A and B are shown apart, each in its own frame.
Chain A
């Protein structure tokens, strides 16, 4: 049966603006700011206790820290509360009883939340970069831009991919936070950081592949995780992360059609 042709774009735009406003207003931004502050604190501590080549610490600590810690937690803190609020409290009933397909408001929510996450992702890469750059003898602008800009790019790709995972989990499960911890931290950071065949299935490995190419940084956070001996290239990483994100968007679309709104 044909569906009435209600424009979808206003719906996506409106939900995007709503999610963006919600994540950046009031206390909504605090969790993300707290996560973004951690690399900066690590940089401050590193400057206080280390004197030689402070900017070298950016590659050794800040890049892996952002990929292991900042991306998964920031994705969770950005995507899951708003989805939980809408689904668990029944507020979604107001949203889905409109003449637009259910995927449209979800796409808007993802878009707005992702855009709201970007400033804090940039902060988590930029502030430590500035602190470490200005505390040493000075570094080449090109290297600084490559490291910091590269990390911002990796975080953006990572935030998009992990955000897609969180979108699906928030729509699919009432226990999305537990699933997110399992998937993003367990399957993402831990499995992706340990040697073995399973590592190739983890999105984390491909983010490290991008970091290797874009920031010239290996997973050298020694003592916790084994460095990747043969990191994937940019094309392979972007393909895997892109297709993975699409797969989770598709799963979110299926889940939103199946889930009861109580």
Chain B
């Protein structure tokens, strides 16, 4: 028998007045790293808030560790750490004081709280900035403090809402390493992001939300396979693009051609890999200067999946 899911949602819905945040979400999340993907406004933050009891569902329910999430179900937070997408706001607090305050809310005495605060600051590489006030920190440092507060009690479940926003590349890498290490210890991490490659860097297991609904769930390569069956657009720039276009049409590799306003050539294809091989061969002559695959971006993946499910 498989282990029960860490997170279990059934018919989970939340409206903000007339606006739909999440609608009829059925979802099970098991230990490991799960990427929660979706463009802005897709319902990622709403789902995180529902899982932490910050907001109540309009319909349906969410369970974490088998317990129904409710505002008074505070015992769950002994096992769960949450890094909100919002900023910290405790602007005039020093990093160590902010974290010690939150550690005290977990039951630590004053001394224990400071010790624990230093421990997590060390984990996110900010121990040398322990006495820096939050309002004197860069966006990236504030993000790391947010992650640190989620780690305070070494939780079994870590919910991170857009933790990499505003981080410099080195901080991103160290945060992603931290997430990987965390998961390697048998913990569950839900990493919400609207950037595909951030999630890809740590997991292949994703949940995709779109307009508050579950769009796709599973391994990223399976989802990519689905995407690969859909028409995709490649935009190239170079010399003598008209002769390029004629050759590609003759070989039946493209389903449509358009010249963009910038003088580039947009190619629609259902056979991306052969097309890329052909372009590489043509490009050896030096006539091809640039190539962009537009649907590498998350929004395009979503557009394709939405088209698939429509």
Residue positions of A touching B, CB distance < 8 A: 1-4, 6-7, 10-11, 13-15, 18, 22, 25-26, 85-86, 89-91, 93-102, 104-105, 256-258, 260-262
Contacts and interface: CB of A to CB of B under 8 A. Distances in A.
A242 B292 CA distance: 71
Given A15-B101, A91-B90, 10 more contacts: A10-B109, A26-B92, A86-B89, A97-B53, A97-B82, A98-B77, A100-B106, A101-B72, A102-B71, A260-B49
Interface in B60-79: 67, 71-78
Given A4-B75, A96-B54, A99-B74, A14 B105 contact: yes
A7 B56 CA distance: 26
Interface string B135-154: 00000000000000100010
Given A11-B107, A102-B71, A105-B105, A260 B84 contact: no
A93 B48 CA distance: 11
Contacts of B87: 90
A88 to B, nearest CB: 10
Given A10-B113, A102-B71, A102-B72, A90 B106 contact: no
Contacts of A90: 84, 86-87, 89
B13 interface: no
A98 B67 CA distance: 16
Nearest to B92: A26
A257 B107 CA distance: 20
B307 to A, nearest CB: 32
Contact of A98 (B55, B105, B109): B105
B293 interface: no
B288 interface: no
Contacts of B101: 14-15, 18
A96 to B, nearest CB: 7
Contacts, number: 114
A86 B89 CA distance: 8
Contacts of B104: 10-11, 13-14
The secondary-structure label for the interface of chain B is loop
B92 A261 contact: no
A101 B100 CA distance: 18
Interface residues of B, number: 38
6 contacts: A4-B75, A10-B113, A94-B84, A96-B53, A97-B80, A258-B71
Interface in B35-67: 49, 52-56, 67
B110 A10 contact: yes
Contact of A99 (B55, B67, B77, B92): B77
B113 A14 contact: yes
B107 A99 contact: yes
Contact of B52 (A7, A97, A256): A97
A11 B105 contact: yes
B281 interface: no
B89 to A, nearest CB: 4
B107 A85 contact: no
B84 A100 contact: no
B71 A257 contact: yes
B299 to A, nearest CB: 25
Given A26-B92, A94-B84, A260 B74 contact: no
A240 to B, nearest CB: 30
Contact of B72 (A6, A25, A257): A257
